[in-house]
Amino acid sequence: MHDRAPPFLQEIAANAMTLDTHDADPSEEIRLLEREGWLTACLPENHGGNGWGSEPSGTGPALTALRRLGRANLSLARLFEGHMNAVKLLWLYADADLQKSSFGAVREGSLLGVWGADLPTAPLTFECAEDHLRLGGVKQFASGLQSVDLAIVTATTDAGLQLLLAPTAEDDRSDPTRWRMAGMRASRSGHYDFSDLEIPRANLVGEPGDYLREPHFEGGIWRYCAAHLGGAEALFDAMRDMLVKKERADDPHQQRRIVECACAVETARLWLIRAASKVEAPGASPNAATHSLLAREITEQCCRLVIDRTRQALGMAAHVEGSKVEMICRDLSLFLCQAAPDAKRARAAEALVASGARLEDL
């Protein structure tokens, strides 16, 4: 008997295929998350939230929420993870006034995001005036266009990468036509043009270099890996249910695939529980990020195994355009590309070599 999702997640899952278009509008799904308290739940407890992803006590519930939303709709899980990440960054690095105003916006229903990828020909820049900043440049692969109200964006400076909190609700600055990927269509991704946008100087978040501090930079990837895992769990459930329906679940070859997939999703779950608890523990050392880097490696391997075994088990039925299985395979395959997996593998290896220790000792 698998975990039964609450009604609002069942509603999101039921509408996932309808949203699987390049002109998708996920605003109703986002409002569902707001009405169910999920956006506010990411806030620290003293700001009216439950600490999901922002405080140690909220780590387990955050991981569960990301998995469950990943099972329902991976594109929505991507947007929610960005919101959770933005709250975490503000809690770590923003001053009290900016926390108060931005967290107040969340309580009023705002969705936050983190947009880090620059358009190579127009990287994000800013000029300082006495009381404001003038921005320039374009962010690409920006998810949640016309749904994200405030985004933490990165700008390269001589002193290091600087975080800024910028309003992102101007539709005429959004260009979702630039996103023509086969998967994650409902993430409403594309370009956002910040040219000549003025924001208060107080919207600087932390100091240059804060964004890359560990264990919360690479360490924080446990969050989107939890969404990946949710997608793999949904795929495994769909594969098993289809085999049962077709009375093929007792075939020895299918039994092997069922067991392999069950082992894979449980392996990834256990790795992510440990990684999240290590990274989010009070006073965690920078080396704790290695747990997330290796958990990401394991999660990708497990997800790709589930995709492969599902396609083997179902044959042509796994490739029917517009079917649930075909959509999840597309979405998950693309989501697993986030972000620079080869570089993350190299960082994990470098950390293990430099420490001279086994993972259990980090």
pLDDT tens-digit series, residues 36-69: 999 999 999 999 999 999 999 999 999 999 999 9
pLDDT in tens, 131-142: 999 999 999 999
Mean pLDDT of 279-288: 97
Contact 325, 239 (CB under 8 A): yes
pTM above 0.75, yes or no: yes
pLDDT(280) > 70: yes
Structure tokens at 13: 């899952």
- DSSP states of 294-338: HHHHHHHHHHHHHHHHHHHHHGGGGG-TTSHHHHHHHHHHHHTTT
Secondary structure (3-state) at 42: coil
User: What is the chain's Cα-based Rg?
Assistant: 20
Give the pLDDT score at 3.
66
- What would the pLDDT profile of 252-278 be if each residue is shown by its tens digit? 999 999 999 999 999 999 999 999 999
pLDDT in tens, 202-241: 999 999 999 999 999 999 999 999 999 999 999 999 999 9
The answer to whether 92 touches 206, Cβ cutoff 8 Å, is yes
Q: Compute how many other C-beta atoms are within 10 angstroms of the C-beta atom of residue 61.
A: 14
Instruction: Tokens for 329, please give them.
Output: 């395979």
The per-residue pLDDT for range 166-206, each reduced to its tens digit, is: 999 999 999 999 999 999 999 999 999 999 999 999 999 99
At 1 the pLDDT is 43
Q: Which pLDDT tens digit goes with each residue over 80-89?
A: 999 999 999 9
Tell me: the pLDDT tens digits for 108-156? 999 999 999 999 999 999 999 889 999 999 999 999 999 999 999 999 9
Please give the average per-residue pLDDT across 286-299, as a whole number.
Answer: 97
